[in-house]
Amino acid sequence: MIKYSFLFLLSLAAGLKMTAQDNRLTQKPTSSAAIYHQIEKLGFLGTALFVAAHPDDENTRLISWLANDRNAQTAYLSVTRGDGGQNLIGPQLREQLGLIRTQELLEARNIDGGEQFFTRANDFGYSKHPDETLEIWNKQEVLEDMVRIIRTFKPDVIINRFDHRSPGTTHGHHTSSAMLSMTAYEIAGLKSAYGQQLATLEPWQAARIFFNTSWWFYGSEDAFAKADKTNLIQLDAGTYFPWSGYSNGEVAAQSRSRHQSQGFGSSGSRGEQTEYLEFLDGSFPTNKDDVFSGINTTWTRVKGGAAVEKQWQKICASYDFKNPEASLEELITMRKLINNLKDAHWKKIKLAAIDYIILQVAGVYIELSASEPHATPGEVYNLNLELTNRSSKNIQFSIQGNNVLKPTETSHDIAGNKSIDTKMILQVPQGYESSTPYWLQQPGTTGMYTVNDKNYITLPESQPAFNTRVAVTIGTATIVKTVPLLFKRTDPVRGEVREPFYVVPALSLAITNPVYIFNNNPQEVQVTVTPFMDIANAALVLRHPKSWTIAPANQSLKNLKKGISQQVAFTVTAPKTASQGSIHAQATVGQLSYSQQIISLEYNHIPNQQYVIDATATVVKPALINDAKRVAYITGAGDEVALAIEAIGTTVDQFVPANLPMDLSVYNAVVIGIRAANVHDDLPVAQTRLANYVNNGGTLIMQYNTAGRFDKDALGPLDITLSRKRVTNENAVVTFLAPNHKILNAPNKITQDDFKNWVQERGLYFPDKWDASFEPILGMHDDDEEMTTGSLIVAPYGKGHVIYTGLSLFRELPAGVPGAYRLLANMLNISN
């Protein structure tokens, strides 16, 4: 397929990078007070970069204070996108969770006024030590990205969230982020470091670097009170912003509360709030309550800036809150002065800022929208372009089209407080690739995304699929605004909804399950075919490993209607012996072939996200016996274990604690989803029922919960104390502590082979204390650590059994690890 991304290249070349604001769901209202705040920001020429490892590590209070009190260019560099975290709001994990968390960060920055950067590093999961982290990440590549970001953003001040001198005391990613930040700070100014970047970027030496410390890093408030603070600067981040009506602490809480997938909702606070910064290197601030003191942050830092400074002061002094438009002429004069500057860095930043202000002052509103959420190559779409002038003067709008996006009329002269709607035509060429995040286009490694075009690295997300440019002439100034194409609709409940617009293929194919587990019987595999346009004839096949058989070989599909999905079934038969492979769905329409699945992530707190994967599934035939007929599953925070139980031939009924049946005797086992005790406050209510059920011969299987944040009564009829013990090495040696226990022997004989090819980790939050009737079954440990014995504990209880396991079955089962299925079958069958 031909890969088109010329629109993206075009916009990069012209330096017209879309701001995060352009792509957000809602447009921020700009009151005259908010416009004045933007004008104030025009006069500050200082930059701060905050560095940590994950989405949610950032100190939103400090970021908001830097952006809104000090008026600095402020950004958060999160080394990763948080793929390895847990998801409190849905089933998505890994890349899809990283996609959600990327958007949560962008929403947070939209509130606190910061920008957002990432590197190519992948959050591969929990890591105990930076030595391990930096081995799994490609240290040189992550450093290269951080240096690139420093050379692009040119921070005067770098602030690390974590201490680079304390390996082993927190997540290895945390310490690594600080260690790499120190090195990047030291080398970004050297021509010898990453010299290939210097074709487009200049070396940059930040003036100073800090560690954003707090009492927490000292162990207690007491210890912190007694600590030597000569190297610490201290600032009040509790500023009240009359222009917005919020205290900085309130803005910070709103920003932090965007991290919904992590459950980081927080309440705002008002009044004085102290932040501490430990000076690490560079020039010590001349004033101990100002991070920028001693650095010239006025217009005089750039050549020719004195005239701009003077003009800026004039605008500030004469700004009329009742009539911002009165400042238009003076702003246009200031724009000309900025345009004449030689300093490319500040010129670009301040031109973008003043252009935004001028358009706001003139009440200009431009929006390009489609009435459907996506386009298919080869099809033609009518779009609406709204051009609104709410100033008192005439404004000229000139629309710049291209081969894909054409205006029907190219220019409009619009009188004061008038709005017009004009048409644009979108025709997407054949071969145009489907929209997917740039960092997920190529397969990556455990520790790194693959990104071929280095220009992308400074972008937090892919650019919009399409954008047009509108030149707006106000008096003597012509401002070119890049306008993204959005999907806009009016929702009866939510009101106006704006979403990103995506490119989709003519057909999306999805195999129902990611993994199929086979016994000796054939299984039906369903492929969901979703046409994004009307298609008269298509043919569908399932490509498969040679030793497997699939019938029919080819399914023909007729009269597919746009937007109407249908399921097509194939019968798949495994070979007689144990086997593992993948199957791929592939459709042919005329000369064109389709083999991708479009995944759409839809949450109300972030813009809809589209992600493209290959329509494929893993097929596994383990040597497995399972006699469990029926299982009740109490859903937890979201996992695919119920699907895995169905895959080995057991019927699963899913419940939340509130609707669990009184009589559970029909079930071979009751399985509790991951973190159920953390997310269901009413889980303790079900315990009497569960205890009676086990007492009468049932099996209760509990999966991991996080230590803290739960009611101890939620963990079954016997005492269990959770710890933070985990084994992160997925290949860690497993010792059979109770080799003759039924759970390791029936109906499947568990061997060391069953612990091969595990993914990401062995398990997490293992209990470290338990009732004497429990027997620990497995021992395991990470390098240089003591053996943990709590990963799988089993106790008889009445006529039945209680099992608690922190083993990461929720990761291993969806990944098709045969040993995890064999172990699962033994758990389900233990009371038979």
**Which positions lie near Zn ion, rule CB under 5 A?**
54, 57
**φ, ψ for residue 32 (rounded to 5)?**
-65, -30
Which is closer to Zn ion, CB of 648 or CB of 764? 764
Is residue 402 exposed (0-12), middle (13-18) or buried (19+ Cβ within 10 Å)? middle
Task: Provide the minimum distance between the beta carbon of 161 and Zn ion in the complex, in angstroms, as a whole number.
Answer: 8
Q: Which residues on adjacent β-strands are paired with residue 584?
A: 543, 616
Task: Provide the minimum distance between the beta carbon of 51 and Zn ion in the complex, in angstroms, as a whole number.
Answer: 12
CA–CA separation, 99 and 96 (whole Å): 5
CA–CA separation, 393 and 786 (whole Å): 76
**φ, ψ for residue 792 (rounded to 5)?**
-150, 115
Which is closer to Zn ion, CB of 101 or CB of 469? 101
Task: Find, among 377, 330, 370, the residue nearest to 354 by Cα.
Answer: 330
Q: Establish whether the linkage from the previous residue to 552 is cis, with ω within 30° of 0.
A: yes
DSSP-derived pairing of the beta strands 157-160 and 47-52: parallel
The amino acid present at 739, given as its one-letter code, is P
Task: Provide the minimum distance between the beta carbon of 58 and Zn ion in the complex, in angstroms, as a whole number.
Answer: 9
Task: Provide the minimum distance between the beta carbon of 814 and Zn ion in the complex, in angstroms, as a whole number.
Answer: 24
Task: Provide the minimum distance between the beta carbon of 79 and Zn ion in the complex, in angstroms, as a whole number.
Answer: 10
Taking CB atoms, the residue at the shortest distance from Zn ion is 54
Which is closer to Zn ion, CB of 170 or CB of 183? 170
User: Residue holding tokens 């793929």?
Assistant: 83
Task: Provide the minimum distance between the beta carbon of 763 and Zn ion in the complex, in angstroms, as a whole number.
Answer: 20
Which is closer to Zn ion, CB of 57 or CB of 782? 57
Task: Provide the minimum distance between the beta carbon of 145 and Zn ion in the complex, in angstroms, as a whole number.
Answer: 18
Which is closer to Zn ion, CB of 57 or CB of 132? 57
DSSP-derived pairing of the beta strands 411-414 and 775-776: unpaired
Which is closer to Zn ion, CB of 58 or CB of 95? 58
Identify the three-state secondary structure at position 9.
Answer: helix
Task: Provide the minimum distance between the beta carbon of 404 and Zn ion in the complex, in angstroms, as a whole number.
Answer: 41
Task: Provide the minimum distance between the beta carbon of 55 and Zn ion in the complex, in angstroms, as a whole number.
Answer: 8
Residues in the chain: 832
Task: Provide the minimum distance between the beta carbon of 174 and Zn ion in the complex, in angstroms, as a whole number.
Answer: 6
Which is closer to Zn ion, CB of 54 or CB of 151? 54
Which is closer to Zn ion, CB of 84 or CB of 305? 84
Six-digit token string for 323:
């009539």
The amino acid present at 344, given as its one-letter code, is A
How big is the chain by its Cα radius of gyration, in Å?
A: 29
C-alpha distance from residue 183 to each of 122, 142, 176, 304, 734 (Å): 20, 11, 11, 34, 38
Task: Provide the minimum distance between the beta carbon of 53 and Zn ion in the complex, in angstroms, as a whole number.
Answer: 5
Which is closer to Zn ion, CB of 68 or CB of 80? 80
Dihedral sign of CA atoms 13, 18, 19, 20 in order: negative
Task: Provide the minimum distance between the beta carbon of 265 and Zn ion in the complex, in angstroms, as a whole number.
Answer: 17
Which is closer to Zn ion, CB of 145 or CB of 754? 145
Which is closer to Zn ion, CB of 44 or CB of 264? 264
**φ, ψ for residue 436 (rounded to 5)?**
-155, 150
H helices present in 18-59, as ranges:
32-42
Q: Establish whether the linkage from the previous residue to 747 is cis, with ω within 30° of 0.
A: yes
Give yes or no for a contact between 735 and 779, defined as CB atoms under 8 angstroms apart. Answer: yes
Task: Provide the minimum distance between the beta carbon of 92 and Zn ion in the complex, in angstroms, as a whole number.
Answer: 18
Task: Provide the minimum distance between the beta carbon of 228 and Zn ion in the complex, in angstroms, as a whole number.
Answer: 28
Identify the three-state secondary structure at position 147.
Answer: helix
| DSSP result, 148-196 | HHHHHH--SEEEESS-TT-TTSS-HHHHHHHHHHHHHHHHTT-TTTTGG
Which is closer to Zn ion, CB of 57 or CB of 83? 57
Six-digit token string for 693:
């059920």
Which is closer to Zn ion, CB of 54 or CB of 822? 54
Which is closer to Zn ion, CB of 85 or CB of 305? 85
Give yes or no for a contact between 59 and 212, defined as CB atoms under 8 angstroms apart. Answer: yes
Identify the three-state secondary structure at position 529.
Answer: strand
Task: Provide the minimum distance between the beta carbon of 209 and Zn ion in the complex, in angstroms, as a whole number.
Answer: 20
User: Residue holding tokens 């010299």?
Assistant: 195
Which is closer to Zn ion, CB of 54 or CB of 412? 54
Task: Provide the minimum distance between the beta carbon of 807 and Zn ion in the complex, in angstroms, as a whole number.
Answer: 24
Which is closer to Zn ion, CB of 81 or CB of 350? 81
Which is closer to Zn ion, CB of 71 or CB of 212? 212
Six-digit token string for 162:
């974590």
Task: Find, among 19, 117, 105, the residue nearest to 349 by Cα.
Answer: 19
Task: Find, among 755, 514, 528, 728, the residue nearest to 640 by Cα.
Answer: 514
Task: Find, among 247, 339, 356, the residue nearest to 20 by Cα.
Answer: 356
DSSP-derived pairing of the beta strands 555-560 and 535-543: antiparallel
Which is closer to Zn ion, CB of 54 or CB of 164? 54
Task: Provide the minimum distance between the beta carbon of 132 and Zn ion in the complex, in angstroms, as a whole number.
Answer: 15
| DSSP result, 242-285 | TTTTEEHHHHHHHHHTT-GGGT-------S--EEEEEEEEESPP
Task: Find, among 143, 126, 230, 145, the residue nearest to 186 by Cα.
Answer: 143
Task: Provide the minimum distance between the beta carbon of 85 and Zn ion in the complex, in angstroms, as a whole number.
Answer: 8
CA–CA separation, 552 and 510 (whole Å): 18
Task: Find, among 586, 374, 411, the residue nearest to 499 by Cα.
Answer: 374
N-terminal to C-terminal alpha carbon distance within the chain: 55
